[in-house]
Amino acid sequence: MQLTTYQDTAVRDLLDKARKLLDQEGSKRVVLKAPTGSGKTIMMAEFLTRFADDKRHVPCSFIWTAPRQLHEQSKEKIEAYVSESRAVECATFEDLDDRQIGENEVLFFNWESIRQNSNIYIRENEQDNNLSTVIARTREAGREIVLIIDESHYHAQADTSQNLIAAIAPKLTIEVSATPTIQGDEVVRVDIGDVKKEGTAGRAMIKKSLVLNEGFKNVLGGTGLIQSELAAKSDDVVLDAALKKRAALAAGYASAKVAVNPLVLIQLPDRHRQADDDRQAAIVQTLKDRHGISVENGKLAIYLSADKQNLEQVTRGDSEVKVLIFKQAIALGWDCPRAQVLVLFREWASPEFSIQTVGRIMRMPEPTRGYYDDELLNHAYVYTNLADIDVKEDVGRDYVTIHTSKRSAEYAPVDLPSVHRKRHREQTRLSPLFTKLFFIEAGSYGLKKKLQTKGQQVQQSFISEWQTDDVDVVAGTRLHGDVSVGKVANMDAQRLFDYFVRKNLAPFYPEDRSVGRVKETLYQFFVQELDMDRVQDFRTIIDIVLSDSNRDHFAAVIDAAKIAYKQETERREHELEDDVWNVPAQEVFGSGYVETLVGKSIMQPFYSDERWRTEKAFVAFLEQPNNGVRWWFKNGTRDATYFAVPYVDGSGDAPFYVDFVVMMQDGRIGLFDPHGIHLADFAAKSDGLRDYITKTGKGSRKVFGGIVANTDSTNFTGRWMLYEGKGKNTKEGDWSGWSQVEI
- CATH number of the domain within which 377 lies: 3.40.50
- Statement to judge: residues 144 and 233 lie in one domain: no
Domain-embedded: residue 93: yes
d(CA 626, CA 439): 67
d(CA 564, CA 561): 5
Per the CB < 8 A criterion, the answer to whether 30 and 116 are in contact is no
* Beta-carbon contacts of residue 406 (< 8 Å; ≥ 6 apart): 585, 586, 603, 604
Per the CB < 8 A criterion, the answer to whether 420 and 576 are in contact is yes
On the question of a cis peptide bond just before residue 170, with omega within 30 degrees of 0, the verdict is no
Domain-embedded: residue 534: yes
**pTM as predicted:** 0.71
Domain-embedded: residue 486: yes
Say whether pLDDT at 603 is over 80. Answer: yes
CB burial of residue 286 (10 Å; 0-12, 13-18, 19+): middle
Helix ranges (H only) for 323-446 are 355-358, 432-445
- Statement to judge: residues 172 and 138 lie in one domain: yes
Say whether pLDDT at 623 is over 50. Answer: yes
d(CA 165, CA 442): 56
Looking only at the bridges linking them, the beta strands covering 576-581 and 416-421 are antiparallel
**pLDDT the model gives residue 369:** 82
CATH number of the domain within which 668 lies: 3.40.1350
Q: What are φ and ψ of residue 171, in 5° steps?
A: -65, -35
547-551: average pLDDT = 90
Say whether pLDDT at 544 is over 50. Answer: yes
Per the CB < 8 A criterion, the answer to whether 280 and 302 are in contact is no
- Statement to judge: residues 237 and 177 lie in one domain: no
- Entry field: residues in the chain: 743
User: How many domains are contained in the chain?
Assistant: 4
d(CA 410, CA 146): 64
Per the CB < 8 A criterion, the answer to whether 140 and 168 are in contact is no
| Residues forming beta bridges with residue 672, ordered by sequence position | 660, 706
d(CA 558, CA 497): 14
**pLDDT the model gives residue 470:** 40
- Statement to judge: residues 467 and 546 lie in one domain: yes
Backbone angle region of 531, left / alpha / beta, with phi > 0 → left and psi within -120 to 50 → alpha: left
Domain-embedded: residue 488: yes
| Residues forming beta bridges with residue 721, ordered by sequence position | 709, 740
Query: What is the percentage of the chain residues whose pLDDT exceeds 70?
Result: 84
Identify which of 575, 203, 177, 194 has the alpha carbon closest to the alpha carbon of residue 394: 177
**pLDDT the model gives residue 219:** 85
Per the CB < 8 A criterion, the answer to whether 14 and 32 are in contact is yes
Counting runs of H as helices and runs of E as strands, what totals does the chain give? 20, 34
Domain-embedded: residue 53: yes
d(CA 226, CA 388): 5
Say whether pLDDT at 681 is over 90. Answer: no
- Statement to judge: residues 24 and 167 lie in one domain: yes
Looking only at the bridges linking them, the beta strands covering 28-33 and 172-177 are parallel
- Statement to judge: residues 520 and 557 lie in one domain: yes
Domain-embedded: residue 622: yes
| Domain final residue pick, 537, 572, 607 | 572
**pLDDT band, residue 355 (cuts 50/70/90):** low
- Statement to judge: residues 461 and 588 lie in one domain: no
- Statement to judge: residues 211 and 342 lie in one domain: yes
609-629: average pLDDT = 92
| Domain final residue pick, 538, 555, 572 | 572
- Statement to judge: residues 71 and 200 lie in one domain: no
98-120: average pLDDT = 75
- Statement to judge: residues 450 and 564 lie in one domain: yes
Q: What is the pLDDT of residues 260-301, one digit of tens each?
A: 999 999 988 766 667 667 888 899 999 999 999 999 999 999
Identify which of 63, 39, 49, 62 has the alpha carbon closest to the alpha carbon of residue 12: 49
Q: Which residues of 476-492 are buried (b: 16+ CB within 10 A; e: fewer)?
A: bbbbeeebeeeebeeeb
DSSP string, 456-504: ----HHHHHHHHHS-HHHHTS----TT--GGG--HHHHHHHHHHHHHHH
Say whether pLDDT at 39 is over 70. Answer: yes
On the question of a cis peptide bond just before residue 655, with omega within 30 degrees of 0, the verdict is no
Per the CB < 8 A criterion, the answer to whether 28 and 289 are in contact is no
Q: Domain range for residue 345?
A: 194-401
d(CA 238, CA 341): 12
Mean pLDDT of the chain: 84
Domain-embedded: residue 410: no
| Three-state DSSP class for residue 113 | helix
Rounded to 10 degrees, the C-alpha dihedral 149/150/151/153 comes to 10
* Beta-carbon contacts of residue 660 (< 8 Å; ≥ 6 apart): 618, 622, 632, 633, 634, 635, 670, 671, 672, 673
- Statement to judge: residues 548 and 689 lie in one domain: no
**pLDDT band, residue 517 (cuts 50/70/90):** confident
Q: What is the pLDDT of residues 468-480, one digit of tens each?
A: 454 333 444 444 4
Per the CB < 8 A criterion, the answer to whether 410 and 234 are in contact is no
Q: What is the pLDDT of residues 400-426, one digit of tens each?
A: 888 989 999 999 999 999 998 876 555
Per the CB < 8 A criterion, the answer to whether 175 and 32 are in contact is yes
**pLDDT the model gives residue 475:** 41
Identify which of 457, 471, 628, 639 has the alpha carbon closest to the alpha carbon of residue 550: 457
- Statement to judge: residues 518 and 666 lie in one domain: no
| Domain final residue pick, 386, 401, 416 | 401
**pLDDT band, residue 329 (cuts 50/70/90):** low
d(CA 538, CA 532): 9
Domain-embedded: residue 233: yes
545-565: average pLDDT = 92
